[in-house]
Amino acid sequence: MENKIKYFFVVIFAVLLHGCDLDFSGFVKPHTPVNKRFAQSNQWNNSQSPRIVFIADTSYTVHIAGDSHIGSTNSIQALFDSSATPKTTALFIAGDITTGKKDDYDVLKKFTDSSSGVCYNFMVGNHDLYFNGWKSFYQYYGSSSYTLSVVTPTFSDLFICLDSGSGTLGNDQLKWLRDILTNYRSSYKNCFVITHVNFFRNRMGLTANPNIEEIHVLLDLFAQHNVNYVITGHDHYQYEETFGETTYITMDAIVEGFKNPTFLKLNISKEEIQHAFIPLE
Amino acid sequence: MHSSLYLRTALTGKSTFNSYSAQYGVLVHCIDNLKSGYSSSFVSAEREFALKKNKLNALVYYLHSYPSSILGENNFGFKLNYETSHWDLMLGNNSRRYALRKDFRQQLTPEQQQDYKISEWRNLLYRICYRIKPEEHLWNLKAGVTNSDFFHISQATNPMLFTEFNYLLNEKLRLNCSVFYKVAGSMNLQADYFGYFIRTGIQWKIK
């Protein structure tokens, strides 16, 4: 019996090691820990102008997607095409944009350099960090933890983008998030949090969520500060839950070959927020 | 997430009658950033079966907790525990329900009050543990991986590594000390240090 148990674990380990676009060194420790990434993001934020979008209209649209896993740029091209409209104020991609490989970041950089008319905002997912991918992300796109304000003639909204690529925000980023919500949330009408790793498990799967202690802290924080939406990717299948005032959304993947790729469209006005999953064509 | 020291104290008991037993416990915060006073309580019912020369236990449980001043949580499920002289294996399912507590709900609109809970029905529970001495030995050292402890249930994809030392002081008293090490995101192949906790206590056998 005891030998059978040992053989079972050897087989499981061998199956896990059989991967292609995966970086198994990350199973033990990250190339760049989350606190260090956040420090770099913060440094980058301080060297740039704040992300503020002023619009003349009293309603606007935001597009959010996740998990493009570049490789190929067909999906992200379709997403950018859908977002290149005057009404679309911003596009967010909530992580797993690439496979983490330098070549894929180069493809993405070439693509974004040739695109115009889209206010895109990226944050990292776990795949973006494989193969020391943070180095490329930081070099090309800078921060993965930042805020974006949308100012209309009658109200202002706050978008908070977080780096959860390691499955945790880390102490420093959590403190920053708490400070923003405590000191600035009340200045805005609506507040949206966008990050990679989804919070709830509506199905069994191998992807990891934040540890339960961190989920408790974040649920508490988002409820206390009336966060309207928490939008994530990572799990590749759409799912939504409402918890008090906060709607938690997990988005479909848009990776090429995925059966039903969709992105999330938010229509925001002073009176209401509407959301819809739009098929990516 | 706790960025500083926390301390909690617990009292648990187990009553056994033939092959049946009931276990119960309560956990209280002593030092904690988020909360104070009552934290969690659990109750479980268990039956032991003999399987060849080894033990198989079937158990159902309920765990209630207040993770923060506005959050409540209920967990319930079942476990099957199989023990040989050196291996301790457990498999089960946990269902978790997060809820906003009543005081907080009253501040919400009637519509928002309807959405006060989120359920996660399927969560695999597991423990794979190896002990270097048979269970009845004077002292023992165990090591393994699990996603649950008395008052703590993680998601299936957030395993904890643990080691435990115990020492039999006399036929009634046994000392225990365990260390649990947690990382975040290891199953995402992007692990980052999360934290650890130490559990220590004394078991008193009353006949």
Same domain? For A119 and A149 the reply is yes
Q: Do B182 and A219 touch (CB under 8 A)?
A: no
Residue A10, domain extent: 1-28
**Strand A120-123 with A88-94, pairing:** parallel
Same domain? For A180 and A270 the reply is yes
pTM value is 0.92
The yes-or-no verdict on residue A19 having pLDDT over 60 is no
CB contact at 8 A, B177 and B197 = no
- Model confidence pLDDT, tens digit, residues B60-79: 999 999 999 899 999 999 99
Q: What are phi and psi of B89, to 5 degrees?
A: -120, 135
Smallest Cα distance from B132 to chain A, Å: 13
Q: Do B3 and A174 touch (CB under 8 A)?
A: yes
Q: Which residues pair with B89 in a beta bridge?
A: B82, B128
Per-residue DSSP letter, A174? H
Same domain? For A22 and A84 the reply is no
pLDDT grade for B2, boundaries at 50, 70 and 90 = very low
Cα angle for residues A165, B191, A46 (degrees, 5° grid): 40
User: What pLDDT does A18 receive?
Assistant: 47
Give the residue on A whose Cα is nearest the Cα of B119: A202
- Model confidence pLDDT, tens digit, residues B123-170: 999 999 999 999 889 999 999 999 999 999 999 999 999 999 999 999
Regarding an ipTM greater than 0.90, the answer is yes
* 3-class SS string, A202-255: CCCCCCCCCCHHHHHHHHHHHHHCCCCEEEECCCCCCEEEEECCEEEEECCECC
Same domain? For A20 and A127 the reply is no
CA dihedral B66, B67, B71, B74 (to 10 degrees): -60
- Considering only CB atoms, which chain B residues are within 8 Å of A220? 34, 67-71
Task: Tell me which of B189, B194, B196 to substitute to probe the interface with A (most A C-beta atoms closer than 10 Å).
Answer: B189
Identify the CATH number of the domain in which residue A45 sits: 3.60.21.10
Measure Cα distances from A120 to A56, A88, A280 in Å.
Answer: 19, 10, 17
- Considering only CB atoms, which chain B residues are within 8 Å of A197? 185, 188
The yes-or-no verdict on residue A92 having pLDDT over 70 is yes
Distance CA A213, CA A195 (A): 18
- The shortest CB-CB distance from A212 to any of B87, B108, B154 is to B154
- The shortest CB-CB distance from A211 to any of B120, B182, B189 is to B182
Q: Do A33 and B193 touch (CB under 8 A)?
A: yes
Smallest Cα distance from B60 to chain A, Å: 21
CB contact at 8 A, A231 and A193 = yes
pLDDT grade for A2, boundaries at 50, 70 and 90 = low
The yes-or-no verdict on residue B33 having pLDDT over 80 is no
Q: What is the average per-residue pLDDT within B35-46?
A: 90
- Model confidence pLDDT, tens digit, residues A207-243: 899 999 999 999 999 999 999 999 999 999 999 999 9
**Strand A246-250 with A51-54, pairing:** unpaired
- The shortest CB-CB distance from A5 to any of B87, B122, B155 is to B87
Any idea which of A51-55, B182-186, B200-204 has the lowest mean pLDDT?
A: B182-186
Same domain? For A37 and A173 the reply is yes
Distance CA B137, CA B133 (A): 6
Any idea which of B2-16, B91-105, B144-158 has the lowest mean pLDDT?
A: B2-16
Same domain? For A133 and A250 the reply is yes
User: What pLDDT does A118 receive?
Assistant: 93
Q: What is the average per-residue pLDDT within B97-126?
A: 94
Distance CA B79, CA B47 (A): 11
Indicate the residue type of B56: L
The yes-or-no verdict on residue B1 having pLDDT over 50 is no
Q: Do A220 and B68 touch (CB under 8 A)?
A: yes
Same domain? For A202 and A264 the reply is yes
The yes-or-no verdict on residue B46 having pLDDT over 50 is yes
Smallest Cα distance from A126 to chain B, Å: 6
Any idea which of A53-57, A151-155, A166-170, B190-194 has the lowest mean pLDDT?
A: B190-194
- The shortest CB-CB distance from A213 to any of B2, B118, B188 is to B2
Instruction: Please count the structural domains in chain A.
Output: 2
Same domain? For A14 and A83 the reply is no
User: What pLDDT does B37 receive?
Assistant: 86
Q: What are phi and psi of B206, to 5 degrees?
A: -115, 130
Same domain? For A146 and A257 the reply is yes
- Considering only CB atoms, which chain B residues are within 8 Å of A273? none
Closest CA to B163 of B90, B94, B91, B88: B88
Higher pLDDT, A143 or B35: A143
Pull the structure tokens for residue A5. 């148990």
Per-residue DSSP letter, A86? T
Q: What is the pLDDT of chain A when averaged over all its residues?
A: 92
- The shortest CB-CB distance from B184 to any of A28, A168, A216 is to A168
CB contact at 8 A, B191 and B184 = yes
Same domain? For A220 and A249 the reply is yes
Same domain? For A221 and A270 the reply is yes
- Considering only CB atoms, which chain A residues are within 8 Å of B101? none
Same domain? For A2 and A140 the reply is no
Task: State the maximum Cα–Cα separation within chain B, in Å, rounded to a whole number.
Answer: 60
